[in-house]
Amino acid sequence: MKKITIAIDGFSSTGKSTLAKQLAKELEYVYVDTGAMYRAVAFFAMQHNLIGANFFDKDALVSALPKIQLEFKFNADLGFAEMYLNGENVEKQIRTIEVSNFVSKVATVSEVRSKLVEQQQEMGKNKGIVMDGRDIGTVVFPDAELKIFMTASAETRAQRRFDELQAKGDNVTYEEVLKNVVERDNLDTSREDSPLVIADDAIEIDNSYLNKEEQFDAVLELVNDVVKTA
């Protein structure tokens, strides 16, 4: 069966990664979580005091980019690849609300986007890949055979994210998570370089009232239809 490129874009906390992992497993495709890459860069900036609540030294981060080595390593026990920053597994650290508060700011830096987009395009050059993020269908793979754009209300997304963080033991409030979701939406859609937009040929899915199984079944049907005609 011919392999294709599947690009999944959308707002934060819409379940892009969950859907992408499901599809990759079902299709035996490579899965790449581009959000983890930007989170890792944000975590690096936090570690080196380049970003904080009231400051962001963009020039210093750009200068440090050659020192940032990102790699995905497959974890057989978990069934998916984890993010490594300069040889260290940072999968847990990059999923915190603190990193979430800074990741969209880091993603506005053109030099950061250029470095990561180049890596992402290299990863997907042989197709058979599912990649999720903010600009996959518009910038990374504008010729992807299937483009999905996922959305849901801010309140729904905040509740999902809050429940997820609570399950991990993080001490956060729903109001704090909702504020983060709204702020990230504004930053993602208003940045000058590769803002979050729906590609002209993307299929929009509002999953506010869909469970994971319903969403997966609907998208898998789309995949099968595209593969048949590819």
Q: List residues forming the annotated binding site for ATP.
A: 10-18
Dihedral of CA atoms 51, 52, 54, 55 in degrees, nearest 10, equals: -20
Of 135, 115, 109, 118, which is closest to residue 56 (Cα–Cα)? 109
- C-alpha 104/C-alpha 56 separation (Å) is 12
Which residue do the tokens 């729903």 mark? 174
Q: Put residue 202 in one of left, alpha, beta given phi > 0 → left and psi -120 to 50 → alpha.
A: beta
Q: Which amino acid is at 61?
A: L
- C-alpha 165/C-alpha 178 separation (Å) is 13
Q: Which amino acid is at 84?
A: Y
Annotated binding site: 10-18
